[in-house]
């Protein structure tokens, strides 16, 4: 029994010490190492929409978490451009210095041809509900932002491939209200909301090629904001799980 508890404590401490980015890099390397030779062009435009499930992480001026708020849901929409770091098709039959370099470095060639990056704009609604001393509370917020991401993709079967990306996003509130029973407060004037929010996360996407130049995708993304708390002030961060689907138009 004691040894079992010791193992649980050990792994709990280990998870805290291993940075999430290290875990992501391990997955990245392992995916492209086991990936087959079959390639799909990843260049294209993506349009996605779906649902965002958000947990508010409020800290009061003493640094204590406020637990009366429950998870809320809202909409998420994004448009982005996705490209492969290196398109190997443009080097076929070429004898340029660049082509010869990559042909002489197959490990680097495989890494770059199986890695994509993505840049785009997103719209997210981060909502929450709750009550305190029989006073109902309802937060409704909308954020506009810019995001970048990158990671490997792996071909699965029958025109389906899986991609995993690390995500970094900057977002700013565009609209927000707080409802206290029958009263409303404009959150655009609240410091905790009306500032640039820095989000870090990761996503997993399944894409199915329908026709030449048109694909359908479904995506799950986990992210959270990391705004540092100033001593003696309240602080707010979001933890959001987004599910979306959409179309990709490209080569």
Residue 46's pLDDT is 95
Specify the 3-state DSSP secondary structure of 222: strand
List of residues 6+ apart from 64 with CB closer than 8 A:
none
- CATH class of this structure's domain 2-85+115-250: mainly beta
* Domain parsing of the chain, residue ranges: 2-85+115-250
Specify the 3-state DSSP secondary structure of 143: strand
Residue 48's pLDDT is 96
Token duo for residue 59: 């800290």
List of residues 6+ apart from 245 with CB closer than 8 A:
48, 49, 50, 216, 217, 218, 219
Residue count of the chain, please give it.
251
Please tell me the number of Cα atoms within 13 Å of 30 on its side-chain side.
Answer: 7
List of residues 6+ apart from 82 with CB closer than 8 A:
42, 43, 44, 45, 46, 116, 117, 118, 248, 250
Does residue 177 surpass a pLDDT of 60? yes
* pLDDT per position as a tens digit, 43-65: 889 999 999 999 999 888 888 88
* C-beta of residue 238 within 8 angstroms of C-beta of residue 224: yes
* C-beta of residue 122 within 8 angstroms of C-beta of residue 240: no
Handedness of CA 116, 119, 123, 128 (dihedral sign): positive
* pLDDT per position as a tens digit, 194-236: 999 999 999 999 999 998 889 999 999 999 999 888 887 888 9
Handedness of CA 236, 239, 243, 245 (dihedral sign): positive
More confident residue, 59 or 12: 59
d(CA 124, CA 162) in angstroms, rounded, equals 24
- CA gyration radius for the chain? 22
How confident is the model over 161-169, as a mean pLDDT?
93
Count the Cβ atoms, other than its own, within 10 Å of residue 64. 9
Residue 220's pLDDT is 96
């Amino acid at each position: 029994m004691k040894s079992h508890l010791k193992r649980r404590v050990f792994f709990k401490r280990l998870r805290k010490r291993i940075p999430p980015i290290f875990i992501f890099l391990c997955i990245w390397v392992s995916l492209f190492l086991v990936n087959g030779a079959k390639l799909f062009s990843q260049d294209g435009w993506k349009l996605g929409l779906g649902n965002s499930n958000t947990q508010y992480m409020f800290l009061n001026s003493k640094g204590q978490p406020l637990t009366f708020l429950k998870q809320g849901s809202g909409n998420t929409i994004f448009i982005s451009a996705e490209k492969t770091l290196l398109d190997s098709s443009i080097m076929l039959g070429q004898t340029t210095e660049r082509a010869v370099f990559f042909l002489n470095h197959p490990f680097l060639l495989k890494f770059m041809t199986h890695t994509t990056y993505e840049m785009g704009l997103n719209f997210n609604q981060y909502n929450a509900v709750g009550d305190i001393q029989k006073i109902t509370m309802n937060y409704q917020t909308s954020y506009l932002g810019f995001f970048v991401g990158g990671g490997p993709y792996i071909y699965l079967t029958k025109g389906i491939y899986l991609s995993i990306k690390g995500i970094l996003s900057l977002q700013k509130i565009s609209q927000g209200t707080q409802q206290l029973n029958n009263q409303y407060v404009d959150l655009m004037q609240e410091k905790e909301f009306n500032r640039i929010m820095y989000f870090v996360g990761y996503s997993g996407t399944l894409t199915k090629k329908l026709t030449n130049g048109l694909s359908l995708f479904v995506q799950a993304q986990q992210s959270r904001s990391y705004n540092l708390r100033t001593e003696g002030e309240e602080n707010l961060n979001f933890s959001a799980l987004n599910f979306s689907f959409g179309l990709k138009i490209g080569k």
